[in-house]
């Protein structure tokens, strides 16, 4: 039995706020990719899916004169740091096992090189698959952040993924 399900996370108002900001459809797609990759590489699929779901919850939208400014974003973005912190806080609040919460937070912290000065960090297998899961769902020009999904469909996808995870456990 897990302490926290994906549905517990999904239904929390903090998760709703940030997952909708950076794209709920993308978050769910990455959770599914992370589950499959985790299974393939014999990793903890619960941790993988949770990190996938929450990986972008640190996003902030950078605007200049009412328009998204990609240069400004690249210069100032720290979404993996903020995401790791927000996800950790939320997971602990929901009663997640602290070791799991830390592992998930670190996978979020290292899910991209975009905010780092160099591309030479060495990832654990779990951190690597979360990065791949994100890349699998990426679209040109950041369009994956704008794909939409209805709340009920999103909820059903989350419930189904929870069932798959339970079956693996």
Distance CA 101, CA 78 (A): 20
Q: Which residues pair with 64 in a beta bridge?
A: 67
Residue closer to Fe ion by CB (options 146, 168) is 146
Of the residues 46, 56, 77, 162, which one makes contact with Fe ion according to CB under 5 A:
56
- Residue pair 4/94 in contact by the 8 Å Cβ criterion: yes
Closest approach of Fe ion to the CB of residue 121, in Å: 17
Q: How far is the CB of 33 from Fe ion (least distance, A)?
A: 10
Q: Shortest gap between Cβ of 128 and Fe ion (angstroms)?
A: 15
Nearer to Fe ion, 58 or 96 (CB): 58
- Binders of Fe ion among residues 128 to 167 (CB under 5 A) are 134
Helices assigned H by DSSP within the chain: 6-11, 13-22, 24-40, 45-54, 70-76, 79-94, 98-109, 125-136, 151-168
Stretch that binds Fe ion, among 4-12, 31-39, 48-56, 85-93 (CB under 5 A): 48-56
């Amino acid at each position: 039995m897990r302490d926290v399900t994906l549905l517990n996370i999904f239904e929390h108002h903090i998760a709703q706020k940030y997952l909708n900001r950076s794209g709920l459809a993308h978050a769910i797609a990455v959770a599914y990719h992370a589950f499959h990759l985790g299974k393939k590489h014999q990793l903890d699929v619960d941790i993988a899916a949770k990190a996938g779901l929450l990986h972008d919850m640190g996003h902030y939208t950078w605007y200049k004169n009412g328009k998204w400014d990609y240069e400004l974003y690249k210069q100032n973005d720290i979404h993996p740091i903020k995401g790791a912190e927000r996800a950790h806080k939320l997971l602990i609040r929901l009663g997640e096992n602290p070791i799991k919460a830390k592992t998930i937070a670190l996978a979020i912290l290292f899910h991209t090189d975009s905010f780092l000065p160099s591309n030479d960090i060495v990832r654990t297998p779990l951190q690597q698959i979360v990065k791949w899961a994100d890349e699998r769902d990426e679209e040109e020009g950041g369009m994956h952040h704008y794909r939409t999904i209805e709340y009920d469909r999103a909820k059903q996808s989350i419930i189904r993924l929870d069932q798959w995870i339970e079956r693996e456990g």
